[in-house]
Chain A
Amino acid sequence: MPGKTTKKTVKPSAPAPARGRKKTVKEPDYLIALLVDGTGIYASWKISDALYGKILRKALTDYHGDPYLFLQVAALDTGGPGELEDIPVYGRENRWHIFTTEAMAGRRVVLRLSYQTARGKRETVLQSTELDIPLGDAALLALLGRPLLHDERRLRLYEASGIREQLAATSPSANS
């Protein structure tokens, strides 16, 4: 599901600063990644004027002069391929929803926002905090043959725990 650029609802309403007393407040850059449910990651980012200027100096730009940006899901552990998803995105301030895949299940990942240079190289400008993508039921079953979960006792404990029924009963699709 593509994200969309949105405007903030909160506006500072303090009196205008007096001449000569204005302090420079550094605009924050951020890339926020949140695990929204078992199957999705919400990403939200903001690029300050300073950073945007830096990107524009080196980036490949489109017809409108905007840089080509990419949101990448990268695994930090060593359980498989490092790059799990690479999504072309746009906008200095934007949001994106990424569906987690079986390849991501059980992995520790970060999101990176990068631009493409005129020479085709990728330069990362923002990185999120780490996310541990949960192992869903399907992933658990698909992966049981691997040493990671090849533990008969843990499987039996999982079955005894009632988690499968609990999550199925309260999943958004079951309730909708």
Chain B
Amino acid sequence: MEKERKRKGPAARLVLVLHAHLPYARIPGERFPAQELWLYQNITECYIPLLRTMETLADEGVHFPLTVSLSPTLLSMLGDDYYRHKYDDYLGCIIALARVHAAPEGSALSGALTHLARRIEETRDRWNAAKRDLAAQFRILSERGAVTLVTTTATHALLPAYRFSPALERLQIRTGQTVFARAFGPAPRGLWLPEMGYHSGLDELLHDCGVEYTFLEAHAAYGAVDGPEYGNFMPFATESGLVIFPRELRLSGAVWAHRVGYPGDARYREFHADYTWQMSEHELSRLGLERMPLGIKVHRITGDGMEREPYDHAMGAAAAREHAADFIARIRERAALVAPLLGRPPVFTLPFDMELFGHWWYEGPEFLEALARLAADSTDIAFVTPEELLREGIDSSGRPAESSWGKSGYFDTWLNPACLHAYPIIAELAERLFAHRPNARTLTAYRQAASEIMLAQSSDWPFFISWDRFADYGRSRLDEHMTAASRILAGIEAGEIDDNYVETREAHYPLFAASSIESII
């Protein structure tokens, strides 16, 4: 039973959006390649713990509706037995390593290692109880009304980078919707724009594709002529009818900001220190492992250049509860400041990368659980979904400005001299794809060429390149997909398709093999 809802109207309403995305990576020749470890660590630290939190809250009738965006690349990986088998192996390894190193009892890290082993064993129990199908768990929560699911573009393409090719943008949007519908049923009403990238006229295209609402960065509500009258503190409708939920910055910053946000508190678990580096070669080789950051983290944030102290989960959990209470106070403070300017209670939209909660910030799920309970007990704060607000009616309208989140606020991370060269090449590949009408002979190759073009569009590659993190990997994936698309298209154009090559590519990147891409184009 849901707790009795507030009788008096809330002073602030909040739309909490968690966007889950990982780039599609599949490296069959290796046991735990770093690019696949991102998935296994996020299942362990983020997706399963968050599902557990949401289930617990729903079971207890705590009203805490979340909006969850699951990217098609992530959904594809979660539904693929290739990853499921490897994840089973991964869980077994880290439980064994944590258990072995927890002895002898009383040593400096034994408490933290025991906690970790126990936590991962619980995770494994949940994984097995869920029949290793996490997408189904999200669907169940959606059916219970605990989450509202939305999608994003097929491979997380930054759409403003392809504004010159509306057909390519449409392919990304419609493929994302198709993958979502295959996993969850009807097409979603909302769509997360990767990197919150928006360009002039995109609202019309989204609206044409059946998207009713999306989320944009705060300055989207101020930077254009005819902007919305309530700025970024209320959702607003564009001329085409698409509803924009602009981000609230100050509250978001309290949660994610690198230096001043909650996750930097010294009581929390350190993300960057992986105990695997301290383990003996012998223990690793007994499990057939090479030394690599497996995600065994047992220190707390202690400070730069200091000997790190062992992680104490009770201390971390207490900090999460304390920060949840502080966040509630900040919401009230913010509402008190903004409401008089608006002449009405504000709607604060708080979008985050889901992976922040649990993976980057280990105690994130506990923070959310505490926040949910405090909000449910309060009379003046209510979490709502975009669709509840759409039902009420959106009475503000305006034109959003071109914008993105991230450094500088205008696509800088994804559109800069280090990666700009790729966009005209992808544009040309798309032109060649769209110039061809597939037939029975060319259909498989055509679909794979479309997949390769979409994979080249992933915003992850320019992100890696621009931030110089996995930059070589980003460059190699970008080149790999552009080269593959070009080769397949050349075969189609010449009437000489290299079937072996197409099959090899499809086996390596099967994520859209079942999609009728040609019907979208």
Contact = CB atoms under 8 A, between A and B. Distances in A.
Contacts of A26: 435
A158 B224 CA distance: 13
A72 to B, nearest CB: 17
Nearest to B496: A15
Interface in A127-176: 128-136, 140, 148, 151, 153-154, 156-158, 160-163, 166-167, 170-172, 175
Interface residues of B, number: 65
Contact of A172 (B163, B401, B408, B490): B408
A130 B201 contact: yes
Contacts of B479: 9-10
Interface stretch (A35-43, A50-58, A62-70, A117-125): A35-43
B498 to A, nearest CB: 7
A14 B233 contact: no
Interface residues of A, number: 62
B408 A171 contact: yes
- Point out which of B223, B227, B341, B488 has the most chain A C-beta atoms below 10 A from its C-beta: B223
A37 B200 contact: no
Contacts of B253: 162, 166
A33 B424 CA distance: 10
A101 B164 CA distance: 22
A95 interface: yes
Contacts of A171: 407-408
Contacts of A77: 225
- Point out which of B407, B410, B411, B490 has the most chain A C-beta atoms below 10 A from its C-beta: B410
- Point out which of A79, A151, A160 has the most chain B C-beta atoms below 10 A from its C-beta: A160
Contacts, number: 198
B472 interface: no
A30 B160 CA distance: 16
Interface in B398-429: 399, 401-403, 406-412, 415-416, 420-421, 423-425, 427-428
A6 B416 CA distance: 16
A132 B224 contact: yes
Nearest to A17: B494
Given A14-B494, A33-B164, A175-B407, A156 B423 contact: no
A106 B489 CA distance: 40
Interface in A2-59: 6, 8-18, 21-23, 25-26, 28, 30-38, 42, 44, 46
Given A34-B161, A134-B401, A10 B482 contact: yes
A2 to B, nearest CB: 13
Interface string B480-500: 001100111111011110100
B493 A23 contact: yes
- Point out which of A108, A131, A161 has the most chain B C-beta atoms below 10 A from its C-beta: A161
Given A11-B486, A23-B494, A134-B219, 9 more contacts: A9-B479, A15-B491, A18-B495, A21-B496, A23-B493, A38-B410, A132-B399, A134-B402, A167-B408
12 contacts: A12-B486, A14-B496, A18-B495, A32-B427, A33-B164, A34-B161, A34-B164, A46-B428, A129-B200, A131-B199, A154-B231, A161-B249
